[in-house]
Structure 1
Amino acid sequence: MSTSAIIMMISAMVTVWGGLAASAISLFRHPEQD
């Protein structure tokens, strides 16, 4: 794999997992109060 491809893959993974982590943290900090 070329360096640019690795950088693109890592940045995509960070974006996806970062979004998942942020949503999980916000859910745990502010649970839905029905």
Structure 2
Amino acid sequence: MSGSAVALMVVSMVVIWGGLVASIVFLARRPEREDLPEGGEDEHVVVPPHR
């Protein structure tokens, strides 16, 4: 491998693994909220019909 190929590989590995580490740290510091109600959709919201 040439030097530029190795440099590009190292940069891409740092971006991929760095994003993974950043995601893990973010989720560890701010886990999923527990204070939200159950369910995924609001039943009281009326959507106007599409014209």
Which 5+ residue runs of structure 1 have no aligned equivalent? none
The equivalent residue for 2:10 is: 10
Matches within 5 A, 1:1-34: 1-34=1-34
SS at match of 1:18: helix
Matched residues, number: 34
**Structure (1/2) with the larger helix percentage:** 1
Distance 1:7 1:27 in 2: 30
Which 5+ residue runs of structure 2 have no aligned equivalent? 35-51
TM-score for both structures, normalised by structure 2: 0.64
Higher Rg: 2
Q: CA RMSD in A?
A: 0.6
